[in-house]
Amino acid sequence: MATRKTKAKSNTSAEDLKAYYRDMLLIRRFEEKAGQLYGMGLIGGFCHLYIGQEAVVVGLEASAKEGDKRLTSYRDHGHMLACGMDPNGVMAELTGREGGYSKGKGGSMHMFSAEKHFYGGHGIVAAQVPLGAGLAFSDQYKGNDNVTFTYFGDGAANQGQVYETFNMAALWKLPVVFVIENNQYAMGTSQQRSTSSPDIHTRGIAFGIPGEAVDGMDVLAVKEAGEKAVAHCRAGKGPYILEMMTYRYRGHSMSDPAKYRTREEVQKIREKSDCIEHVREMLITGKHATEDELKEIDKEIKAVVNASAEFAKESPEPDLSELWTDIYADIPQEA
């Protein structure tokens, strides 16, 4: 494995590094388990795995504080786990069971947690971008210093509503970090084939929004960029764009055989840049952890993931009567 230079800041302790390792590993093992359950027919419908991109969400969560909000596309399980949602509830939702975050009626793309300030899970490409600006507007209106992390893909970055949102967010100086997860593909279309100007982080220039490209496979580089962006937002200077250069190892969704790229391309990136291997290497070579300690963490994570699968399997399917509930919001009479 090639050693990469990392822009580690002195404020990262060995304990922090271990926590990032643990959080990224939880996402990866959870997603691998979801892939298995899908293969066994226990998960149906759409299921978009995040494997390969874990450093993005874990690094940014390290720059967030309580009260900050987040929302993303359909590739959302990693974001839920990283903000502290319960793996049992997420796995049960994936398998369509009563114990899931949406009582088994939403599935992979439709989960939400007011407690963890996670606002979905959105199946329509870029639909979450204006919603993210709306959440940021609500915090600005209330006068607190919360920030909203609005994640979207390189493909979504070509949607018109993104630029309408950029305009409003810049005009009103909304505290929103636009996180473009550039995994180089939008379904089977590579960025080269779909995008006229590949430097997506420069797309805010027309609106006066600063932006930068970040090594999204390096959790410390992500965290450092996140801290800068968040400080900008909290200081009342308006939105910030972070283009995270990353890569997804699996197909677009579970039904994608990924014939538009070679196995060698995926293998090369895995070997050269894998975000979990990178932190593992830093922990070992920096003598912050022993092989045995890391094995112990692996074991703990496996146990959490296996327990989530067991919880999901044991949770019943929703009762038929649930077809008629949770359709409209309960609006209090006085509203």
Ligand X SMILES: Cc1ncc(C[n+]2csc(CCOP(=O)(O)OP(=O)(O)O)c2C)c(N)n1
Interface residues with Mg ion (CB under 5 A) are 153-154, 183, 186
Closer residue to ligand X in complex, CB, 46/172: 46
| Near ligand X by CB under 6 A: residue from 76, 154, 215, 274 | 154
Q: Based on the shown chain and the rule CB under 6 A, indicate whether residue 153 belongs to the binding site for ligand X.
A: yes
Q: Which is nearer to ligand X, 13 or 255 (CB)?
A: 255
The listed partner (Mg ion, ligand X, none) that binds 252, CB under 5 to 8 Å by sort, is ligand X
Q: How many residues form the binding site for ligand X (CB under 6 A)?
A: 15
Q: Residue 124's binding partner, choosing from ligand X, Mg ion, none, with beta-carbon cut-off 5 to 8 A by kind?
A: ligand X
Cα(28)–Cα(50) distance, rounded to whole angstroms?
8
Of all residues in this chain, which one has the CB nearest to ligand X in the complex?
153
- Determine if 155 is a binding residue for ligand X (CB under 6 A): yes
* Cα 233 to Cα 222: distance, rounded to the nearest angstrom: 16
Burial classification of residue 191, based on how many CB atoms lie within 10 Å of its CB (0-12 exposed, 13-18 middle, 19 or more buried): middle
* Residue tagged 């309960």 (tokens): 330
Nearest CA to 230 out of 306, 161, 293, 148 is that of 148
Binding mask 110-149 for ligand X (x = CB under 6 A): -------------xxx------------------------
Dihedral (CA of 318, 322, 323, 326) sign: negative
- DSSP labels, 199-248: -GGGGGGGGT--EEEEETT-HHHHHHHHHHHHHHHHTT---EEEEEE---
**Whose Cβ is closer to Mg ion: residue 96's or residue 153's?**
153
Site for ligand X in 275-294 (CB under 6 A): none
Using the minimum distance from each CB to ligand X, give the nearer residue, 269 or 284: 269
For 253-293, give the DSSP string.
Answer: STT---TTS-HHHHHHHHHHH-HHHHHHHHHHHTTSS-HHH
- Residues 179-198 touching ligand X, rule: CB under 6 A, are 181, 183, 185-187
Pick the closest to residue 84 from 116, 121, 117, 49 (CA basis): 116
In the complex with ligand X, which residue's Cβ is closer, 125 or 309? 125
Residue 150 makes CB contacts below 8 A (sequence gap 6+) with: 70, 71, 72, 128, 129, 131, 132, 133, 136, 176, 177, 178, 179
Please identify, using beta-carbon distances, which residue of 123 and 134 lies nearer to ligand X.
Answer: 123
Residue 75 binds to ligand X (criterion: CB under 6 A): yes
57 is a site residue for ligand X (CB under 6 A): no
Cα(275)–Cα(25) distance, integer angstroms: 10
Binding of residue 249 to ligand X (CB under 6 A): no
Residue with nearest beta carbon to Mg ion: 153
56 interface partner picked from ligand X, Mg ion, none, CB below 5 to 8 A per type: none
Residues forming contacts to ligand X in the complex (CB under 6 A) are: 73, 75, 123-125, 153-156, 181, 183, 185-187, 252
